[in-house]
Structure 1
Amino acid sequence: MTSHAAASSTSRTLAIVLRLGGATLSMFAMLYQLFAIHIPAGYSVVNFFVYFTNLSNIMISVVFVVSAIRLINGRTDPSSTDVAIRGGIVVYIAFVGLVFNTLLTDADLGDLLPWVNGIMHFLLPVLGIVDWILWPPRRRLPLSVVGWWMIWPAFYAIFSVVRGAIDGFYPYPFFNPAASGGYGGVALLCLAMVVGFLVLAFGVRAIGNWLSARRWQDEAEETPEDTVAGLA
């Protein structure tokens, strides 16, 4: 085995460990919070899975598990769709981490356990970003993916406002007209959220394309047969 092949093997192993480890920690933390704290306190299970943090943790965990399994099975060529989905979910989990750790550091966490909070609001966002940087996408992301990535946050905001108006539950106060100065205030806050997502989306795409061009082109020029494959 050449030194480059050995490095590729080490990189593959590290990717598998990071992804499976991150997914395991995230799901354990979420399920522990749900079954040990949330349900015994009489909270709604449905409402538990309406929080953007929980949904984003589930998404990144699925991406981590699927990509790790592909690595284990020797899958070598992720599709453009695979790459686009991964990039979008990196945007969502990064948004969770950035917003919580900059704007909500003094927020009342209620019954949320501190160690669960640390895993879901800090560790998984960091792992998602680190994973994107260490193993950038193998395919170039077109500008159009930014628009596709914005569909989920837009749908989530509309769903949260409409559902809250129907049953009174808002996952976050900025979706609640009573706490945001009416629907005009909600609209302004949602607009600010969209701007934040757009900035992150353009950033994730730019970083992914730049790192992808550098890493995979360099490795292909050295020893094409030894490159770390399947890292969507």
Structure 2
Amino acid sequence: MTDKTRAWRILIALVAAAGPILQYGLMAYDETLATLPAKTVEFFSYFTILSNTLAAIALAAPLVAPESRLALWSEQAGPRAAIATYLAITAVVYHTMLAHTWDPHGLRLAATTLNHTITPAAFLVDLALRGGQGEARWIAALKSMAFPALFGAWTLAHGAATGFYPYPFMDVAKRGYPAVLVTIVQMGVAFALVCLIFVALLRVRSRAALTLKPSAL
């Protein structure tokens, strides 16, 4: 790994971690010791936070503990395609469905921009530049649905117990279970389709690299 490559990887790992950390700090600032635990659970009930945290862990693990199982997993093409999918959908959903619902300023704007724009863009650039280790297999698209499926199940369970729903389109109290369940299924399909696109791009990238390699010798 060259110094420039390492510097780039450290930079995007820090960027990916900065968004959730800043967002949590802003939330915790307004809470008391009595309310902080419940708000912390709510904080980690946002898919945005989960996707950005997963990206930060996946980017940092190979730098901190390169021989660990987590690091080896996070460098594989399939997991990287899945994480790119989560971040891409996070960015698209926010900018098309949620951004107009509020008007953040200052540090809140900084945290929002990191989580919904900068980190997704940085990870996609990193995916394009470095690809992933091993073959990008089509089954990765099916596997990528597990994370959002668990998120959907958690959201419904947590919402039934507390009445808290992180996003309007998942609010059972306002939309009802049938509509929300349809939305969850639709989003699951969307995750799989987007992941298929990233897998296809990684396969093309890998084949192009193999084709160009002999001419570079």
Q: Per the shorter chain, which TM-score range?
A: 0.7 to 0.9
Q: What is the alpha-carbon distance in structure 2 between the residues aligned to residue 15 and residue 211 of structure 1?
A: 20
- Give the alignment partner of residue 145 of structure 1, picking from 117, 140, 144: 140
Whole-angstrom distance in 1 between the partners of 2:55 and 2:196: 19
Shift of 1:141: 1.4
TM-score (normalizing by structure 1): 0.77
Aligned mates of 2:72, 2:42 — CA distance in 1 = 34
Distance 1:171 1:119, change over 3 A: same
Report the equivalent of 1:118.
Answer: 113
Tell me, yes or no, if structure 1 residue 60 matches structure 2 residue 26: no
- 1:86 counterpart SS class: helix
**Larger RCO (alpha carbons 8 Å, 6+ apart):** 1
Q: Structure 2: how far apart are the matches of 1:108 and 1:38?
A: 21
Aligned counterparts of 2:210 and 2:2: Cα–Cα separation in 1: 15
Correspondence 1:98 to 2:126: no
- Residue 41 of structure 1: CA displacement? 11
Aligned partners of 1:138 and 1:212 also within 8 Å? no
Is the Cα contact below 8 Å between 2:91 and 2:117 reproduced in 1?
yes
SS in 2 for 1:84: helix
Q: TM-score, normalising length from structure 2?
A: 0.82
Alignment match of 1:185 (pick from 179, 186, 197): 179
* 1:178 to partner: Cα distance: 2.4
| Contact in 2 for aligned 1:80/1:139 (Cα 8 Å) | no
Structure 2, unaligned runs of 5 or more: none
Q: Write the distance in 1 (CA, Å) between the matches of 2:32 and 2:85.
A: 30
Q: Which has the higher helix share?
A: 2
Q: Is the 8 Å Cα contact of residues 177 and 183 (structure 1) preserved in structure 2?
A: yes
Q: In structure 2, how many angstroms separate the alpha carbons of the residues matched to 1:118 and 1:57?
A: 12
